[in-house]
Amino acid sequence: MDCLFCKIIAGEIPSTKVYEDDDMLAFRDINPVAPVHVIVIPKKHIASMDEITPENSCAVAKIFEKIPEIARLAGCENGYRVVSNCGVDGGQTVPHLHFHLLGGMELSWPVFTK
């Protein structure tokens, strides 16, 4: 499949891994917007949050069960933020479901601007 993140999972494109198991991969974003910026993805290809179903949602649950550990491994000491951009208005650029784990500084809120 011609999917950037599936290629990262397959090792065809190198990445700086933070955590990996049978269900998920967490790696450093190539263009970080915060001191800690990790992308967490299910190994099973799901295109976006719009594609989460009762059949595949356990992959998402497993990611959220692991996020506190991934955040610690990545260096978040005082909290963090998890964001998933969905579709055009959400600013999604890679069509494989992913969660941005952001931290390492006090993050501003709200994040949206026009």
Residue numbers of the site for ligand 5GP (CB under 6 A)? 4, 13, 15, 27-31, 39, 85, 91-94
E strand intervals along the chain: 17-20, 24-28, 36-42, 80-83, 99-103
- 50-54 long-range contacts, CB within 8 A, separation 24+: 50/86, 50/87, 51/97, 52/97
β-bridge mates for residue 41, sequence order: 25
CB atoms within 10 A of CB 8: 19
Nearest to 57 by CA among 38, 40, 39, 42: 42
96 is a contact residue toward Zn ion (CB under 5 A) = yes
Report what 13 binds from Zn ion, ligand 5GP, none; CB cut-off 5-8 Å by kind.
ligand 5GP
Window of 19-27, 43-51, 53-61, 104-112 that interacts with Zn ion by CB under 5 A: 43-51
**Which residue in the list 37, 45, 96, 98 is annotated as catalytic?**
98
Q: Assess whether 98 carries a catalytic annotation.
A: yes
Which of the residues 3 through 32 are near Zn ion (CB under 5 A)?
3, 5-6
Distance of closest approach, residue 24 Cβ to Zn ion, in angstroms: 13
60 is a contact residue toward Zn ion (CB under 5 A) = no
Q: Where on the chain is the footprint of Zn ion (CB under 5 A)? A: 3, 5-6, 45, 96
